[in-house]
Amino acid sequence: MTAHAASPDAMVSVRNLWKVFGPKAAEVPKSPQLQQLSRRELMDQAGCTAAVRDATFDVSRGEVFVIMGLSGSGKSTLIRLLTRLIEPTAGQLLLEGDDLMTRDTKAMRDLRRSKVSMVFQHFGLLPHRRVVDNVSYGLEIRGVDKATRTRRAMEVIELVGLSGYERSFPHQLSGGMQQRVGLARALAGDPDMLLFDEPFSALDPLIRRDMQAEVIRLHKEMGKTMIFVTHDLSEALKLGDRILIMRDGAMVQTGTGDQLVGAPADEYVRNFVQDVPRSHVLTLRWVARPERLGEEVADLTLPADTIIRDAIRCVISAGRPVRVVDGGSGGAGGSGGKVLGVVGEDEILTSIAGLEDE
Amino acid sequence: MSTAAVASVPTWRRPGRLVASLAVLVVWSLLYLVLRGRDTLPLGETETTPLHQSFNHLSDSIASNRNSSPLFVYFFNYLQIWMTQFVTFVQSLISQPGFGRPAPLIGWLGVLALGGFLAWLLAGWRSAVLAVLGFAFIGWQGLWTEAMDTLALTLAAVLIAVVIGIPIGIWIGLSRKAARVITPILDFMQIMPTFVYLAPLTLLFLIGPASSTIAVLIYSIPPVIRITGHAIRSVPESTTEASDSLGATRWQTLTQVMLPMAKRTIVMGINQTTMAALSMVTIAALISAPGLGQTVLQALTTLDVGTAFNGGLAIVIMAIVLDRTTTAAGEGTERTFEHGLPPRLRWGVAGLGAIVTAVLVWESATFWWANTFPTGHSIGPSIVSGVASASTWIQDTFSGVTNVLKNLISGGLLDPLQTLLTESPFWLVIIALTALAAILGGRWAALSTVVCLLIVVGLNLWQNSMETLAATLIATVLTMVFAIVIGVAMGRSRRVDRIVRPTLDAGQVMPAFVYLVPFLVLFGASRFTAIVSAMVYAVPPAAKVIADGIRGVSESTVEAATSAGASTWQIIHQVQLPMASRALALATNQGLIYVLAMVVVGGMVGAGGLGYQVVNGFVQDRFIGKGLAAGLAIVLLGLMLDRISQAVASRVDPSGAR
């Protein structure tokens, strides 16, 4: 990645962030020669493992940013670097323009108490405390008095749909409900940003879908910035405004869901996304073709950002190709916006069948 | 699959090693026939050597420096005074006159009330009933004051152990570096036979409460440290990380996350420390610690089986009460925060109990009848005479059976080995044992063997050491036979495990002394009694290790062997035992250490050897030096056996076990 300056306007701005484990960890990010080595070569030559290599990205305020990769790709390490739960080896780390690398332990602790909260894969609940005391634990640490923190805990418990279970112990709850407690605990301190480390991986599929919907709802209601780690592509596509794909500690590609599916950066990403139903992710922008001369087109236009799946009915019923407009409002008459091309039955059908590569 | 599994025989079972060991034994035996009686380094029972006398002088000079050497004046003496005051304080609460009173502050009624109330508060009403009935029965046995002395010493030691041990345990739980430094020290504290450090402690701290309390601490503090460390380490990282992510300080995470989650396990550690302390308090009778141990010890030395049994029974009851209460307290910590009584009611009942207890304690402090346990209807004398006549009757009636057993083991196994060890020239024994160690354990095992044995020669106690070694080896072989049978049965069947394991656990909490008593009743004073009680003491830990090893053999391998048509016997000796060979080796290691500790104790009931010399050192001033040398020799034998068996264990192909 090129070393352009960190952006103070972003919620989070990460530049050339490294995490190396091993005896000579600090030397790896400094040495251009060691930087180049593959994971195995680095292990053999320096006895080090680079969990995160040269990560650079920005997350804007209110965005849901997903970090995705297989296990061992460094995604869980990366998300922990953001609040220095794991100490970065090198790099720059800004939160709302504030340089986190220069903060001392106490300042980082204050930041964790008030600005950034985290939800964990294995929940990390305190088994000896009731739900309400688990949720208020973060406030208790801050020194909030009991009445206030209990009141606040009850509010969040209601927010995540756990009313009636305040007096239960964690082990009396199902996995999904336990994670709601984890979510409530993270929300209790009213942080500006939420970090999720594979929060739903340990849950079964139906519960996972509920919880994803829950996160989407909370995001809509509160508009908090969220950084979400997952190994599940469909989860990433469902939740993420943008997705960062990692492999062996390095960033492979960053983009919106349709960018990843429509223009995978390499074979690795292509393999990742090949099973995704393209018509569910891609927008008309990706399948529009130039209008042929003298072609008869339908009377209406569609915005370029319409998901293909949502345009099917419209295109089929029109009976002929439909113009695709960038930025316009669409609708009958086709006012405003630049015409990108047209989409007809053929384009729709090939994208549904996933045939355009052939 | 099945053939591969069956064929994976660990390397140390290669016939080569076995043949070589047998060859060494044969050559040794042949040479023995030729060289018998030469260079056997004999030393009469009442003889001492210049070395032993110089140890005597050493002890005298330590005594004379007590009030001049700065180490004593500024450290040991303070420690001694402080410990003595603390223990005396606890004693004057429940067992001895104190605070200017002719009787302890809290009499029997108060102790029963307080014991019952605390057991109820910490563990529940079952433990409370058990505690009250148990202590009352001990009083009825006529052993109230002795029991209270034992209890006072145990409680004082446990209190100190907990106050020191839990912080150290937390430290080793949090810091790997600390764990690396402290764990070997704990290993050493636990591996040393308890007998051995009593005498040196009396040199430093005089005979009295201080040295017995420190001896008890040495023996009983390792469990609470280890288990606290383990409990802290087992708190899931996801939980501590979640706490960190919320901005908790290290102290907040420790006190609000780690300690509450580790509480239950830490209480288990306190339980083990309590049981170890009780065991050692009774053994500390050898250096004049008061209490039930004293009763048993004096009875053992005069072979008064009735009194020994009465005292032993009281120790067993005390052990059961303390074990049940502390175990239930561990389980209770979880129960109370879930299904306990509603808080208000609970406080009400507790308050009522506290008031009743306070009234009873006050009565026991005020009225003579409530202070000194009534002796009118004591059952003690009947137990003493009943057991004594039962013992005579058993020995007369079954002397046929018991003598056959005794003579079979003593004459058939012990005598030949002991003769070989004691009647061969000492250099031949050293060469032969070193060769065996080299074959079985490798270079380093051989080196420790030769070094240890040479020092033993230097200590001028060769014959006694060889007697102890012979008894230890025979007892270990027998222990392993029983341990394998029990361990395999437990490992193969969950049901057997469920039935047998509690018995083994209960066996392990009993103070070592107690084991001697029933076998003394059966077999009288002899080497055989020591060997049998050593077995009973050592079989439980060895059997548990083997059971876990057998269970560790992967199910699919056993299944594969079964599907290949192997019989149960074939599965056991061709699949499960070879694959559990590492566990077998570890069990042998454990067995050796436990057996040695107990064989030494057996020196008190006619087993002779080093144990007798140690005891003799306590009893007669002029044998102090010889006793110290015997203690050192025991440590060296233990070190040698431990090194060899550890080396064998580490050589076992780890791929054999899962």
3-state DSSP call for residue B426? helix
CB A11 within 8 A of CB A227: no
| CATH number of the domain enclosing A79 | 3.40.50.300
* Of A32-46, A267-281, A332-346, B145-159, the least confident: A332-346
Nearest C-alpha of chain B: how many angstroms from A273?
Answer: 31
pLDDT digits (tens, 9 = 90+) for B419-435: 888 888 999 999 999 99
Alpha-carbon gap, residue A269 to A163, rounded angstroms: 42
Last residue of a domain, one of A273, A290, A315: A273
State the pLDDT at residue B6. 42
Query: Helices (H) and strands (E) in chain A — how many of each?
Result: 16, 14
In terms of domains, do A83 and A229 share one?
yes
pLDDT digits (tens, 9 = 90+) for A147-191: 999 999 999 999 888 899 989 999 999 888 999 999 999 999 889
- Domain count for chain A: 2
In terms of domains, do A225 and A267 share one?
yes
State the pLDDT at residue B574. 81
Q: Is the pLDDT of residue A10 over 60?
A: yes
> In chain A, which residues touch B (CB < 8 A)?
83, 85, 109-114, 117-118, 120-129, 137-138, 140-142, 169, 182, 185, 189, 195
The residue ranking higher by pLDDT, B508 or B147, is: B147
Contact between chains at B238 and A189 (C-beta distance less than 8 A): no
Nearest C-alpha of chain A: how many angstroms from B322?
Answer: 26
Q: Specify the amino acid at residue B196.
A: V
Q: Tell me, what's the ipTM? A: 0.80
Last residue of a domain, one of A273, A302, A325: A273
In terms of domains, do A226 and A342 share one?
no
In terms of domains, do A257 and A291 share one?
no
pLDDT digits (tens, 9 = 90+) for B160-194: 999 999 999 999 999 999 999 998 898 888 777 77
Burial A298-325 (b: 16+ CB within 10 A, else e): beebbbbebebbebbebbeebeebbbbb
State the pLDDT at residue B433. 93
Q: Is the pLDDT of residue B337 over 80?
A: no
Q: Which of residues 404-433 of B touch A (CB under 8 A)?
A: none
B243, B246, B249, B333, best to mutate vs chain A, most A CBs in 10 Å? B246
CB B233 within 8 A of CB B262: no
In terms of domains, do A205 and A339 share one?
no
Nearest C-alpha of chain A: how many angstroms from B131?
Answer: 29
CB A162 within 8 A of CB A181: yes
Answer yes or no: is A133 within a domain: no
Q: How confident is the model at residue B14 (pLDDT cuts 50, 70, 90)?
A: low
Residues of chain A with Cβ-Cβ distance to B242 below 8 Å are 118, 120, 123-125, 182, 185
Alpha-carbon gap, residue A345 to B575, rounded angstroms: 68
Residues of chain A with Cβ-Cβ distance to B248 below 8 Å are 109, 141
Q: How confident is the model at residue B11 (pLDDT cuts 50, 70, 90)?
A: very low
In terms of domains, do A70 and A198 share one?
yes
Contact between chains at B247 and A138 (C-beta distance less than 8 A): yes
State the pLDDT at residue A246. 92
Query: Which residue in B523, B536, B412 sits closest to B482, CA to CA?
Result: B536
Alpha-carbon gap, residue A28 to A18, rounded angstroms: 9
State the pLDDT at residue B334. 45
Last residue of a domain, one of A224, A244, A273: A273
pLDDT digits (tens, 9 = 90+) for A329-353: 544 444 567 888 888 888 888 887 7
In terms of domains, do A335 and A214 share one?
no
State the pLDDT at residue A355. 63
Q: Is the pLDDT of residue A218 over 60?
A: yes
pLDDT digits (tens, 9 = 90+) for B540-583: 889 988 988 888 887 788 888 888 888 888 888 888 888 888 88
Task: Please give the average per-residue pLDDT across B363-379, as a whole number.
Answer: 80
Contact between chains at A141 and B247 (C-beta distance less than 8 A): yes
B338–chain A Cβ distance below 8 A for any pair: yes
State the pLDDT at residue A185. 92
DSSP line for B428-488: HHHHHHHHHHHHHH-HHHHHHHHHHHHHHHHTT-HHHHHHHHHHHHHHHHHHHHHHHHHHH
In terms of domains, do A214 and A328 share one?
no
pLDDT digits (tens, 9 = 90+) for B238-295: 899 999 999 899 999 999 999 999 988 899 899 889 988 998 898 888 888 899 989 9
State the pLDDT at residue B435. 93
State the pLDDT at residue B656. 42
In terms of domains, do A299 and A260 share one?
no
| CATH number of the domain enclosing A307 | 3.90.1280.20
In terms of domains, do A249 and A316 share one?
no
pLDDT digits (tens, 9 = 90+) for A261-289: 888 888 888 888 888 888 888 888 888 88
What is the helix, strand, coil percentage profile of chain B, to 5?
85, 0, 15
State the pLDDT at residue B447. 93
State the pLDDT at residue B156. 94
State the pLDDT at residue A356. 57
Q: Which domains does chain B have, with CATH numbers?
A: 398-410+439-651 (1.10.3720.10)
Answer yes or no: is A142 within a domain: no
Q: Is the pLDDT of residue A22 over 90?
A: no
Q: How confident is the model at residue A358 (pLDDT cuts 50, 70, 90)?
A: very low
**Residues of the domain holding A331:** 280-353
In terms of domains, do A218 and A69 share one?
yes
Answer yes or no: is A49 within a domain: no
* A331-332 β-sheet, strand order: A331-332, A300-303, A322-326, A338-343
Count CB neighbours of A273 within 10 A: 21
Answer yes or no: is A50 within a domain: no
B576–chain A Cβ distance below 8 A for any pair: no
Contact between chains at A189 and B236 (C-beta distance less than 8 A): no
**Average pLDDT across chain B, whole number:** 84
